Structures are given as structure tokens and as C-alpha cells.
Chain A
Amino acid sequence: MKRKNIKAAVILIVLAIVFVAAGCSIKDANGDDPFETDLDDIVGLLYKGVDVPAYEIIDLNKDTFKSYAFIDYDTSYKAVAADALVNITPHSLVVIKVDGNAKDLAEDVIVNADPNKWLCVGSEKVSVAYTDNYIVLVMSDEATVDAIIKNFQDIAQALDDMDANILSTGNERFE
């Protein structure tokens, strides 16, 4: 009897977790997020027409910023990351909004970006594109990186009234 009760309790707990999980199911790859920001919209535009893996958008803060953007955090920055949902897919997109002077920061990002930040896999290519106020870091396979950067070039005029500058590097793991 006692054993049956324990089993029932375990089943109920598991069911509760599953329901909470379903209820809490977060903004997904289609972007149904009730707290959309302009950076989320930019991610949507950057991924438009690109075959990207399943991903989630997360707001970066002082604790998480450096591990995604590879530069030190500043309270004036706003940033989101749209990395692949699963650790086995080496895909990362970071969009940072700064108050001008993006060039120096973008150069720091490309120098520090680690295409092997995933434990067992690495991304083929790293690109950083920037305008005056926006920096985009993309790490993924070459075709995906190029397609996302192309999308950024297309929206750069609308964002900052200027053409995007591009910095790129490979990953020696693949060379």
C-alpha cells in the first residue's frame, strides 16, 4: 500500500512537471513572445528566409552578456542572443545595441569571439557586422553566416541610415 502511494506520488509529480512545462513553454522559434523588443524584431529580420536551427531568443544581462558577446558588459548596452536550442548545434546570433562607437566594440568582438565555445562541436565561420549603433555577431556554418550577414546588410539602412561593415574569420578546426 505504502509503495503504491509512493508510485502514485511520483507519477503525479512527473505529470505536474510536464503540465507546468507545457504551460511555461516559452517563446519559440516562431517568436510568440509577449515581451517583444526591437532587438527581437531584428533577430526575426536577420533570420528571414534563412534555414536556421531551432533557437530561442534570450535577453542578455550582466551575468550572461560576456559568455555570448565575448566583451565586457556595460549598462548602456541592450543585447539579445538567438542561439540554437541544443548544445550539439554550433549556431549563435547576438545582436547588441550600443550608443555609437560600435566600430571599436565590433573589433573587440571579432578578436575575442570563440567559434569553439560549444564543448564538442565548433562553428565554421564567425562574422561580425556593425553600423553606428548596432553590432551583430554570427557563428554558424558558412552558408548560414553569410545569409544572416546579407540580411543585416539589407536592413542596415533602415536601422542606422548607413551601410553595414563586415568583419569575418574562419575556424581553424575546419581549415
Chain B
Amino acid sequence: MNKLTKKYSMALAALLILLYHCWINVFRYGSVLGNIERFIVTSSFVGVDIFFFVSAYSLSTRPPEDYVSFILNRALKLMPLFIIAYALGTFLWFLPSLMIVYLIFPLVYNKCKQNPGISFMLLMLAWAVVTWLVLGVLKPEQDYGIFLFRIPVIILGAYAPYVSKSMLTTKKQRAVLGTLFLVFGTAVVYIWGYIERINVPFKGTFYLTCIPQLIGIMLLLGLIEKESKIINYFASMTLELYFVQMVTGNWLINNVYKLSGSRILTNLITLGVVILLSKAISLIGETINDTPKKIATNERG
């Protein structure tokens, strides 16, 4: 996965998550277009899986050299958003989950990369055992399935570089395989992740249904070679988008809809405001990060 594919993946993930959280259905329930729209919106939870997959892939191909500074850097990026959202009454489960990945991944991966085949199997087995222990034995009331059933995607992301290096060499191969995975995966999500979500043996099992679709998406995104300003724009503020939509989305949508009475207008205004606010927060973050560097440069100058 090159930088361009990563940007497209992150932008797509951010937009899918935004769609899931902030889009209100426009077409009539029960009509063909209404069903298609509802399926697209409801199944766009795959955005979270794309994000986890890309994060694991990136960590796998470029493991952090200094573990402590890497963790500090990640924590400074993620945790302020989490704390602010929590203070405002919203629990952003995705941020601490991502932090767990950053904490554990580099430690485990260093041990695993020596023998990818066996370690992959062992990690999957360990995941199954932990999931069974947490959801089957401890049975917490909280919805841990939302993260536990994303762990296979993280493991797949970590081991994907081995597959892409050794097997899929030509563009045509990737295009054909990507299309097949996407079509088959979309059907799987439609049947078991949309019409009736599989929650057996544990609640949240249906998250696994998006894995074939995810593989298809990643293979096809890898074929894109053209840079896009819009994609760069969204890829640069994925976390901010998630934060803003979760903190303000509910209030925005309901109030705009009550005022306008139009679903199309509500969607346009909500998405516009969320995107603008996210960009503003992203710029503030960049300014805060750049300030010490600028001061240091000025002092040296």
C-alpha cells in the first residue's frame, strides 16, 4: 500500500463513518432507491474496519522506532479529543480502541514477524479465546463486541503486506480479485450484516461479515494512481471528522430538520457544518503542533 492508497482509504473510511452517523434517508422506505440508500448507509460501518486495517498495515510496514515517543505522540493526538467528547457527554469508543492497538501492536508484532504463518494462526486463536472469555464468560453489559470483532481486521491489516508482496503482482490480478471480493462481500453484508445481523454466538459477530468487502475495497483502491485534492482534504482530518460528527451530529441533524423540514437540506447543511468544523479543529491542532517547532527554528535563527 503506497501513500496514495492510504490517503484514499482514510478519506473513504472517514466519509463512510460520516455517512453512517449523519445521513438521514431521503428516499421512501420500501422503494427500490430507499432500500439501496438504507443498505449503503447501514453498511457503511465498514469505514471503521477500513481505518483499523490501514492503521495496522501502516504499523506493520513502518513499525515505530522509538516506542515511548510513538505512544506519547499518538496519545497527544487521540486523547484530548476523547476527553473533550467525554466531558460533553459522548463516549468515543473508537479512540481508546485505537490507542489499545497502538499500545499492544508494536510489542506483539516484533515477536510475530519472524514467523508470519504460524504467528497469524496463533493471533487469530488468541483473539477467539479472548472474545469467548469476555463475551461468553464475563458477559459484560457494555458493548465490547464493537471492538473485539474488529480485531481480526487489525490482524489481517498487519499481515496483508506479506500477501501483497508475495502473490498479487499484476494490476489485472488485483482488479479482478478486488471486484470479486467487493461483489461477493457486498452480498455477504447485505444478507448477514443488513437484513438480519448475525449476532451468534455473540452480539457483534456481524461486524465480521464486512471482511470480504473490505479486502475488495482495499485491492481496488490500490489501483488508483491519480492524486486528488478532495481526497487529501478528507484524509487530513479523519479523527477530527469523527470527533465533530459524534459530538455535534445528533444536535445538528435534529435541529436543522425541525427548522427546514427537508431531508436533503438537512443532509447538506449537516455535512457542510461537520466538515468545516473538522477542518477548523484540524488547523488548530496543526498550529499547536507547529508552534514549538517554529519557536525552536526562530531561536536557532
| Chain A residues proximal to chain B, CB less than 8 Å | 18, 20-22, 24-26, 28-30, 53-54, 56, 58-59, 63, 66-67, 84-89, 114, 116, 119-120, 122, 171-173
Contacts and interface: CB of A to CB of B under 8 A. Distances in A.
Contacts of B113: none
A172 B142 CA distance: 7
B232 interface: no
B121 to A, nearest CB: 29
A173 B22 contact: no
A71 B107 CA distance: 45
26 contacts: A24-B28, A25-B26, A25-B263, A26-B28, A53-B250, A53-B254, A54-B266, A56-B25, A63-B196, A84-B254, A85-B25, A86-B21, A86-B22, A86-B24, A86-B249, A86-B254, A87-B20, A87-B41, A87-B42, A88-B245, A89-B254, A120-B146, A172-B141, A173-B141, A173-B142, A173-B143
Interface residues of B, number: 39
Given A120-B146, A172-B141, A54 B28 contact: no
B294 interface: no
Interface in B199-247: 203, 245-246
A50 to B, nearest CB: 13
A24 B29 CA distance: 10
Most chain B beta-carbon contacts within 10 A, residue among A28, A86, A119: A86
Given A18-B264, A122-B143, A173-B142, A86 B27 contact: no
B33 interface: yes
Nearest to B17: A120
A85 B249 CA distance: 12
A26 B108 CA distance: 52
Nearest to A24: B28
Given A56-B29, A85-B253, A89-B254, A67 B196 contact: yes
Q: Ordered nearest first, which 3 A-B pairs have the shortest CB separation? A: A172-B141, A54-B257, A85-B24
A63 B146 CA distance: 24
Given A58-B29, A89-B250, 18 more contacts: A18-B264, A21-B26, A24-B27, A24-B31, A24-B34, A29-B261, A54-B253, A54-B257, A85-B24, A85-B25, A86-B22, A86-B250, A88-B22, A88-B250, A89-B254, A114-B203, A120-B146, A120-B246
B23 interface: yes
Contacts of B258: 29, 54
Contacts of B30: 58-59
A56 B254 CA distance: 12
Nearest to A173: B142
Given A21-B26, A53-B254, A56-B25, A28 B146 contact: no
Interface of B: 20-31, 33-34, 41-42, 45, 93, 141-143, 146, 195-197, 203, 245-246, 249-250, 253-254, 257-258, 261-264, 266
Given A20-B33, A54-B258, A88 B28 contact: no
A22 B266 CA distance: 13
Contacts of B33: 20-21, 24
A84 to B, nearest CB: 8
B163 to A, nearest CB: 29
Nearest to B255: A54
A58 B27 CA distance: 13
A151 to B, nearest CB: 19
Contacts of A88: 21-22, 245-246, 249-250, 253
A119 B45 contact: yes
Contact of A30 (B22, B29, B261): B261
B29 A26 contact: yes
Contacts of A22: 264
Nearest to A32: B261
A52 to B, nearest CB: 9
A21 B41 CA distance: 16
A157 B49 CA distance: 50
A82 to B, nearest CB: 12
A58 B257 CA distance: 18
A134 to B, nearest CB: 23
Nearest to B41: A87
Contacts of B253: 53-54, 85-86, 88-89
Contacts of B22: 86, 88
